Structure 1
Amino acid sequence: MARTPVLRNATFAGSVLAACLLASTSSASAGAPPDAPGYTTARTGGAHDFEYFAGGWRTTQHRLKARGVGSNEWDTFPATLCMTPYLDGRVTADEIRFPTKGWAGFTLRSYDIAKKQWSVWWINSTSGRLETPVVGGFDGARGEFYGEDVDDGRPVKVRYRWDKVDHDHARWEQAFSYDGRAWETNWTADFVRADAATACSQGRPRD
């Protein structure tokens, strides 16, 4: 995601990263459920895993209306995302705006060279809270990232999945496990590459 505002963005991303590294030293949830099928925090990836995602994207979001209660009612809404790489792609930052919802989100990813592993943090504009990171990486076109969090007071295991469909399409999904036995997918997003000059302004969504 050759101007002075880029330097301000880089400074901001660096500040957020520093806060993330401090926050990651605290536990997300005491009494988390057992590991769900496939759960691992040892998955690794490559330093260029997210290079393909740089630029602007239009996306259709599908979010479960109620999590952890067996609901199958989904809310569908549009969004625009703009991603900027830093440090030769080993750090990325993107902002996503949901124009019909009136809120936005910010994702920061950093690649640990020694561990060969990505950490991914999310901040929702409605809370401003730095969420507990998920960690992992890509194996070919599939990326998986796992971690622990708390959902409305309930400890959960978290899984992010990324699929690089092709150069101009990608898919993301988020799933929680409340009991350690099964995953409930509660949020998915289908991405289509957009003209960054049209979709983004100074690395941020225009919408």
Structure 2
Amino acid sequence: MRRHRFLRSASVATVACPASFAACASTLPDPPGYTTLRTGGAHDFEYFAGGWRTTQHRLKARGVGSSEWDTFPATLCMTPYLDGRVTADEIRFPTKGWAGFTLRSYDLAKKQWSIWWINSTSGRLETPVVGGFDGARGEFYGEDADDRRPVKVRYRWDKVDQDHARWEQAFSYDGRVWETNWTADFVRADVASACRGGRPRD
């Protein structure tokens, strides 16, 4: 769910980036665990096909040491393509008035997933995070800018069981520590009640 990245809201802390955002982020040291070489399997996201109800927890202010969280519901519907090597999902946040779209593609040569995010409030295709699953844990990393502040980005996916999943997003602003700023707990929903034509009904 950098950017996404699962719906990045604006941060109150701003540092101007003198060059391109990617170049700025590249000057940061790699925080613990950061790698763009992590690989996975072509069927890593098959379990996520269908409809999901989810509870979202978003940090109200990122990068400033805040501990205040906003909690709100969402509905997500995911469709696999090309034998599961491409997936697309739409998520709607009915109490917020916006939505998001995630595109994932699996590079057969690199054995690696790329994940792109589009926020309905901007319409921009964000820079992807890359990685894959090792068992039930998926990790994906990339570089971005948070309101013009360079960051390293981490997504984590946990397959709790066939009907439950958890996602989290974290940024590193200094290349030393991660700040988790968004989490989402997913419960599988009846597709007919949650989705229409592969899109959320809400």
Q: What is the TM-score normalised by the length of structure 2?
A: 0.89
Q: Which residue of 2 aligns with 1:65?
A: 60
Q: 2:79 aligns with which of 57, 75, 84?
A: 84
CA separation of 1:117/1:28 partners in 2, compared to 1, >3 Å: closer, same or farther?
Answer: farther
Q: 1:200 aligns with which of 179, 189, 195?
A: 195
Q: Which residue of 2 aligns with 1:52?
A: 47
Q: Which residue of 2 aligns with 1:185?
A: 180
Q: Does residue 154 in structure 1 map to residue 149 in structure 2? A: yes
Taking the aligned partners of 1:126 and 1:72, their CA distance within structure 2 comes to 25
Q: Which residue of 2 aligns with 1:169?
A: 164
Q: 1:93 aligns with which of 88, 94, 100?
A: 88
Taking the aligned partners of 2:21 and 2:47, their CA distance within structure 1 comes to 30
Q: Does residue 31 in structure 1 map to residue 19 in structure 2? A: no
Q: Which residue of 2 aligns with 1:115?
A: 110
Taking the aligned partners of 1:35 and 1:107, their CA distance within structure 2 comes to 25
Task: Name the SS for the 2:22 alignment partner.
Answer: coil
Task: Name the SS for the 2:122 alignment partner.
Answer: coil
Q: 1:144 aligns with which of 118, 123, 139?
A: 139
Q: 2:124 aligns with which of 129, 138, 141?
A: 129
Deviations 1:158-196 (A, max 9, x none): 000000000100000000000000000000000000001
Question: Identity of aligned pairs, percent?
Answer: 91
Cα offset, 1:49, TM superposition: 0.1
Is the contact made by 1:172 and 1:189 (CA closer than 8 Å) also made in structure 2? yes
Is the contact made by 2:55 and 2:72 (CA closer than 8 Å) also made in structure 1? yes
Q: Does residue 41 in structure 1 map to residue 56 in structure 2? A: no
* Ranges in structure 2 where 5+ consecutive residues have no aligned partner: 1-19
Deviations 1:30-67 (A, max 9, x none): 22121110000000000000000000000000000000
Partner amino acid, structure 1, of 2:85:
R
CA separation of 1:28/1:135 partners in 2, compared to 1, >3 Å: closer, same or farther?
Answer: farther
Taking the aligned partners of 2:183 and 2:197, their CA distance within structure 1 comes to 27
* Ranges in structure 1 where 5+ consecutive residues have no aligned partner: 1-26
Q: Which residue of 2 aligns with 1:3?
A: none
Is the contact made by 1:92 and 1:109 (CA closer than 8 Å) also made in structure 2? yes
Aligned residues: 181
Which structure has more RCO (C-alpha within 8 Å, separation ≥ 6)?
2
Q: Does residue 75 in structure 1 map to residue 92 in structure 2? A: no
